[in-house]
């Protein structure tokens, strides 16, 4: 009887593991950016490269940049604290570059290619990442472009449903309302995390709050949720709450 009970327990554990793996392999919208592109796992040694981009209409001043320095240190403190909660080995710091370009920000990315070609002297951002990882001797070297103007901060990330896109970077717009979560939120995106707020009332925010409470990717706190921890490489398995979220949100986006 004891032997039968042990066999049943082993079978149940096997089913749980298979269920978790099946969810991880599914084409759920939340998983489309995991382990793709230059930025895959936010672990080990990381050196975030903050690129201050001055345009003709929106140049940076030293005083403005110093205010961003303070916010950036605070942001990294949040990231370190969250990584520690997930027992993740992460040593993260940052450095800065200053570029002045002739092109204003636009969605057609003319400014981006000007920087890649004329400032970094590269053909793709992968070459830039490889250069900095090798020269700085780090595991990760995420790149974040900072503009001294107001627009919606965003991350251009590699996803399974965009097979032709191989560039991966953050764009952060800095104004008087900028706070710590601008940087952390976009940096997590760069490593595969998704927004946990609604785009058009589809219900993701309600379900995310049900399973994760307040969290960074829902723009309600600085905490990292279990799904984000899985997506950015801080855990190798989906927790019960992450699985519940995936089940209830499948097909919503």
Task: Give me the mean pLDDT over the 94-104 stretch.
Answer: 97
For 70, the token pair is 């303070």
**Domain span at residue 157?**
39-195
* 50 lies in some domain: yes
- Rounded CA gap, 213 and 129, in Å? 34
Q: Binning pLDDT at 50, 70 and 90, where does residue 13 land?
A: very low
For 95, the token pair is 């450095």
* 191 lies in some domain: yes
For residue 46, the Cα-to-chain-centroid distance in whole angstroms is 13
Total domain count, the chain: 1
* 225 lies in some domain: no
* 200 lies in some domain: no
Strands 143-147 and 154-156: unpaired
- Rounded CA gap, 169 and 95, in Å? 16
- Find all residues with CB under 8 Å of 100, minimum gap 6, and list them: 54, 55, 59
CATH number of the domain enclosing 148: 3.40.390
pLDDT at res. 22: 46
Is 0.85 topped by the overall pTM?
Answer: yes
Helix 62-85 and helix 180-190, axial crossing angle in degrees, nearest 10: 60
Higher pLDDT: 168 or 4? It is 168
* 120 lies in some domain: yes
Lowest mean pLDDT segment, chosen from 19-28, 147-156, 205-214? 19-28
* 77 lies in some domain: yes
* 146 lies in some domain: yes
The closest alpha carbon to 224, from 176, 185, 170, 251, belongs to 185
Q: State yes or no: pLDDT of 24 exceeds 50.
A: yes
* 14 lies in some domain: no
Residue 122 phi, psi (nearest 5): -130, 170
């Amino acid at each position: 009887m004891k032997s039968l009970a042990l066999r049943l327990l082993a079978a149940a554990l096997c089913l749980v593991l298979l269920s978790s793996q099946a969810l991880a392999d599914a084409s759920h919208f939340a998983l489309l950016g995991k382990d793709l592109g230059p930025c895959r796992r936010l672990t080990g040694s990381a050196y975030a490269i903050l690129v201050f981009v001055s345009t003709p209409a929106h140049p940076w001043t030293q005083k403005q940049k110093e205010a961003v320095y303070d916010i950036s240190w605070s942001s990294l403190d949040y990231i370190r604290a969250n990584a520690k909660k997930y027992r993740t080995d992460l040593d993260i710091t940052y450095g800065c570059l200053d570029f002045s370009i002739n092109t204003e920000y636009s969605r057609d990315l003319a400014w981006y290619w000007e920087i890649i070609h004329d400032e970094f002297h590269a053909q793709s951002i992968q070459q830039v990442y490889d250069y900095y990882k090798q020269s700085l001797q780090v595991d990760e070297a995420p790149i974040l472009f900072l503009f001294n103007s107001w627009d919606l901060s965003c991350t251009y990330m590699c996803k399974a449903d965009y097979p032709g896109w191989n560039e991966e970077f953050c764009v952060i717009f800095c104004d008087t309302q900028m706070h710590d979560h601008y940087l952390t939120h976009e940096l997590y995106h760069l490593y595969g995390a998704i927004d946990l707020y609604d785009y058009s009332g589809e219900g993701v925010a309600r379900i995310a709050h049900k399973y994760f409470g307040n969290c960074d990717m829902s723009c309600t706190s600085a905490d990292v949720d279990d799904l984000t921890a899985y997506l950015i490489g801080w855990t190798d398995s989906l927790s019960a709450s992450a699985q519940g979220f995936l089940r209830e949100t499948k097909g919503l986006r």
